[in-house]
Structure 1
Amino acid sequence: LLLILAFAAIGREAHARGDIIGGAFTTAWPFLAGAAIGWIALRAWRSPLVLWPSGVGIWIGAVIVGMLLRAATGQTVVLAFVIVALISLG
């Protein structure tokens, strides 16, 4: 949760988007939802500290669902951002 919020805040600051606190939530919510979906789908509470499959599944869920939600809500989804998100969230 905190790292996804930090990713969003750093990205907003790097692109001089202003309103870092509120804007970070606007940027982060799709990825937070994706991570939550991955957490639930994998029942990660059973083994929350393992890298495989919980960690990888939550990471991929955050990116894939996050990008789908961004696209569905009219936010920007370009290849460069997908790559940055994949690396940063990983």
Structure 2
Amino acid sequence: MRNGWAAGLDVCSVLVFVGIGRASHDEGLGLVGFAGAAWPFLVGLALGWGVTRAWRGPAVLFPVGVGIWAATLVVGMLLRAVSGQGTAVAFVVVATLFLAAVLLGWRALFDRFSG
């Protein structure tokens, strides 16, 4: 799988997560609010790509996918906390499960059906 497609799937996964979250809390999808909610997770995603050197095998489930998921979640939550955004336990649980489903899910499907 090409890096651009893999990175695009990851970014879209994070943006869908943010969009669903904002819509479910009636926070709207205005650009400023959306960007404010998305940036911590996008930074975590970028760091995950860097740490795992995902460009060498972006569709690999383990360790690449797991590393990207962990970095997206942990860095995203830490940046939310230091920027004064919420990190309620229920939100952390939902984020953990949703991000695992999307960031690991497409990789598991790719692995299953690619060869």
Contact 1:8–1:25 (CA under 8 A) maintained in structure 2: no
Q: Which digits, 9 at most, give the CA deviation of each residue in 1:36-84, with x for residues without a partner?
A: 1011011111111100011010001000000000001000011110000
Match of 1:54 in 2: 64
Q: Could you say which structure has the larger radius of gyration?
A: 2
Q: 1:80 aligns with which of 71, 90, 97?
A: 90
Count of aligned pairs between the two proteins: 89
Instruction: Write the distance in 1 (CA, Å) between the matches of 2:22 and 2:65.
Output: 25
Q: Gaps spanning 5+ residues in structure 1: where?
A: none
Measured on the aligned residues, the alpha-carbon RMSD in Å equals: 0.9
Moved over 3 A (4+): none
Give unmatched runs, 5+ long, in structure 2.
Answer: 1-10, 101-115
Q: 1:14 aligned to 16, 24, 45, which one?
A: 24
- Residue identity (%): 51
How far did residue 21 of structure 1 move? 4.2
Distance 2:94 2:84 in 1: 19
TM-score, L = length of structure 1: 0.94
